[in-house]
Amino acid sequence: MTLSPQEASAKALEICQLAPIIPVLVVEDVSRAASLARALVKGGLPALEVTLRTADALAVITKMSKVEGGVVGAGTLLTPDDVKRARDAGATFGVSPGATDKLLTAAEDVGLPMLPGAVTASEVMALLERGYDMLKFFPASTSGGAPAIKNLGGPLQAVKFCPTGGVSPSNATEYLSLSNVVCAGGSWVAPGNLVKAEKWDDITALAAAAAALPR
């Protein structure tokens, strides 16, 4: 099923509205994938971004996509082939650090809702012109942070953002307080040491704290 840019962006918005934080996950061990997903979903974070930065990322997506209540997406999509492989693995949405016409067309053709990245007014305007109004703001911390997103909201009021990159418990509330921020992406809810130690209750507690953040 193909999606128009408007349909793809509307579906991405629905996913972003599920919780204040989307965990950004780099998972090395497939055997821990399902347990990690269950811990995060139990804590109130159903939308999960698995970055394609490890050899087994696609297998992780497949495992996590079978966890009840989870909405699993693929991050770090850079090429049309990434899009196809992510969709085939079971991803229900995609995230990219930026955006190209080839990448977006590939996602639309296979019906994969996309959260494309943008940080400048020109990048935002180009995506808005195509039909995307739910965007990733990346890298957030080195691109002006919350003040930059707030200022973009003046002339570009139709656009909503999910800031990612440098978002932490200490600054998440600042981002989430903005009227043009729907959610934020963060990795702190699934730290590598807790995943390796299989401390699933601790991860659930971190997820619950993130899910309770005001927005």
| Close Cβ partners of 120 (under 8 Å, ≥ 6 residues apart) | none
Residue 178: other Cβ atoms inside 10 A:
19
| Strands (DSSP E) found in 89-207 | 93-95, 114-115, 134-137, 160-163, 184-186
Answer whether 15's CB lies under 8 Å from 73's CB.
yes
Strand duo 93-95 + 21-25: pairing:
unpaired
Answer whether 153's CB lies under 8 Å from 177's CB.
no
CA separation for the pair 185, 138 (Å, rounded): 10
- What Rg value do the Cα atoms of the chain yield, rounded? 16
Alpha-helical runs (H) found in 76-191: 80-89, 101-110, 121-130, 145-152, 172-176
Query: Catalytic: which of 42, 49, 63, 108?
Result: 49
- Is 49 a known active-site residue? yes
Query: Catalytic: which of 11, 42, 63, 136?
Result: 136
CA dist 190 to 93, 198, 204, Å? 20, 10, 9
- Is 136 a known active-site residue? yes
Closest CA to 92 of 108, 71, 123: 71
Residues identified as active-site: 49, 136
